[in-house]
């Protein structure tokens, strides 16, 4: 009997839903779910949430508290539908503030615990800036799990793994976007996709050198990228692409296998701040996409803040 590509993918990779859409999560039954400011904004705009969000907005002492309460409210609903992790993001506004990121992470975990969701179920998402990575290092030492996001290159990935991050989220599609803009005539399909190549390199390096940090490919543009990364630890996938995988029959071949990863170089020493910033400066794609990603997430957070402010004024 033929099985869907999604069913086959679940046999070799932990499938994660990249959405705040509860109906989609119910349908595709992922192990984990991830959210970000853009996805929280989409979920918050659903009509059936408006009354609940208005209550949150009116009862919160400031807009930061309201945004966090909304994220935890949606995340708590998601936690009832998935058996594994739920990722919730620290405000992009704090991307360059280590101490404020740590404080906000503590606040989010406390809110989840008050909602009856264990800290073990939560991944605190933090932008993979130098400051974000240092915050993650401290949080991991405290037993709080982290997901380092907006990750576009090996420099970020290695620094995150050296910091002890539970999980990293390399952004496949946004890497592709940058390269297509630079060279629109090139063939970036399948295994030529620079985002796929980046994730494979990170995955193989981590496995070859014994890093326990989970590699979770994210930000996919098409199912071809997902097929090319079958076997990765985790893949976080939008409902649209989950649906395509669920409707496609055929054979899905494993492309990544940690048992076969071989060290092609000695493990590199951990980076200090100067070396990290220099390498990011040298990698135009990673540097540009990191900054752009923070700005985009912050733009959507501002829209959410405006929405909550409007709802708070209603009686």
- Read off the pLDDT of each residue in 251-280 and give the average, rounded to a whole number: 89
Say whether pLDDT at 315 is over 70: no
- Output 167 or 47, whichever has higher pLDDT: 167
Burial class (CB in 10 A: 0-12, 13-18, 19+), 183: exposed
Catalytic residue among 10, 125, 240, 289: 125
pLDDT of residue 263: 65
Q: Where are the domains of the chain?
A: 5-313
Three-class secondary structure assignment of 71-99: HHHHHHHHHCCCCCCEEEECCHHHCCCHH
Is 125 catalytic? The answer is: yes
pLDDT of residue 311: 84
- Picking from 19-23, 36-40, 73-77, 239-243, which range would have the lowest pLDDT averaged per residue? 36-40
Domain 5-313: which CATH class? alpha beta
**Whole-number Å distance between alpha carbons of 174 and 152:** 8
Say whether pLDDT at 40 is over 90: no
Beta-strand ranges (E) seen in the chain are 14-18, 32-34, 86-89, 122-127, 146-151, 167-170, 214-217, 234-237
Residue 106 phi, psi dihedral angles, 5° rounding: -60, -40
Say whether pLDDT at 273 is over 90: yes
pLDDT of residue 94: 98
pLDDT of residue 1: 55
- Output 303 or 267, whichever has higher pLDDT: 303
- Output 123 or 312, whichever has higher pLDDT: 123
What's the Cα-to-Cα distance from 147 to each of 34, 138, 150, 195, 279, rounded to whole Å?
Answer: 10, 13, 10, 19, 22
pLDDT of residue 43: 84
pLDDT of residue 264: 63
Model confidence over 99-154: pLDDT tens digits? 999 999 999 999 999 999 999 999 999 999 999 999 999 999 999 999 999 999 99
Model confidence over 179-226: pLDDT tens digits? 999 999 999 998 899 999 999 999 999 999 999 999 999 999 999 999
pLDDT bin (cut points 50, 70, 90) of residue 2 is: low
**Whole-number Å distance between alpha carbons of 3 and 69:** 40
- Percentage, residues of the chain above pLDDT 90: 82
The mean pLDDT value of the chain amounts to 94
């Amino acid at each position: 009997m033929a099985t869907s590509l999604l069913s086959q993918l679940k046999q070799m990779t932990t499938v994660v839903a990249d959405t705040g859409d509860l109906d989609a999560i119910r349908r595709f039954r992922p192990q984990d779910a991830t959210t970000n400011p853009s996805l929280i904004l989409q979920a918050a705009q659903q009509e059936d949430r408006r009354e609940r969000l208005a209550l949150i907005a009116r009862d919160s002492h400031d807009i930061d508290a309201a945004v966090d309460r909304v994220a935890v409210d949606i995340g708590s609903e998601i936690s009832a539908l998935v058996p594994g992790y739920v990722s919730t993001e620290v405000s992009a506004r704090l991307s360059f503030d280590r101490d404020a990121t740590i404080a906000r992470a503590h606040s989010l975990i406390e809110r989840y615990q008050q909602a009856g969701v264990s800290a073990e179920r939560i991944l605190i998402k933090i932008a993979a800036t130098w400051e974000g990575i240092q915050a993650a290092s401290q949080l991991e030492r405290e037993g709080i799990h982290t997901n380092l996001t907006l990750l576009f290159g090996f420099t970020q990935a290695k620094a995150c793994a050296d910091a002890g991050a539970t999980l990293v989220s390399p952004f496949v599609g946004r890497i592709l976007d940058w390269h297509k803009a630079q060279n629109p005539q090139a063939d970036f399909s399948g295994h030529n996709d620079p985002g796929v190549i980046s994730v494979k390199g990170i995955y193989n390096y981590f496995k070859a050198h014994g890093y326990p940090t989970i590699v979770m490919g994210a930000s996919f543009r098409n199912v071809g990228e997902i097929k090319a990364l079958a076997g990765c630890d985790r893949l976080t996938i939008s409902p649209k692409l989950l649906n395509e995988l669920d409707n496609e029959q055929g054979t899905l071949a494993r492309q990544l296998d940690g048992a076969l990863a071989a060290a092609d170089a000695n493990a590199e020493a951990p980076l200090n701040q100067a070396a990290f910033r220099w390498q990011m400066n040298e990698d135009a794609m990673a540097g540009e996409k990191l900054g752009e990603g923070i700005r985009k997430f912050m733009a959507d957070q501002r829209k959410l803040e405006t929405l909550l402010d409007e709802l708070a004024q209603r009686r």
